[in-house]
Amino acid sequence: QVQLVESGGGLVQPGGSLRLSCTASGFTFSSYAMNWFRQAPGKERELVAAITSAGSGTNYADSVKGRFTISRDNAKNTVYLQMNSLKPEDTAVYYCNAVRRRYSSLDSYWGQGTQVTVSS
């Protein structure tokens, strides 16, 4: 059974830091690119950060560049999102997503989401 289990969300003050973790099971983690998405109430889900299957390439939304870092440890089947210099506008539910592109199909799995609230 495929599972993506997220942890690390919570309440943090503006300017603070938080590290999200997502641990995968039930599939070959190292074959999948990993993404972090977020969704705030009334807004579309947006891609925050992405990392290739081997961890050699990353991409970030402009709004988080320089503040967030995505990384992965394939030996632990875990992807991380280090969030620094947090702002109130970072408040959202953050979702872990695993993607593998194949010949004529796309495998995509989602975590349950974890709430991040940035407030004083």
Model confidence over 50-105: pLDDT tens digits?
A: 999 999 999 999 999 999 999 999 999 999 999 999 999 999 999 999 999 988 89
Please, which residues have CB within 8 angstroms of residue 76's CB and are 6 or more apart in sequence? 23
How confident is residue 44, by pLDDT bands cut at 50, 70 and 90?
very high
Residues in the chain: 120
- Mean pLDDT taken over the chain: 97
> Is 51 strand, coil or helix?
strand
How confident is residue 24, by pLDDT bands cut at 50, 70 and 90?
very high
Check: CB of residue 21 under 8 Å from CB of residue 80.
yes
Mean pLDDT, residues 22-37 = 97
pLDDT for 40: 97
pLDDT for 65: 98
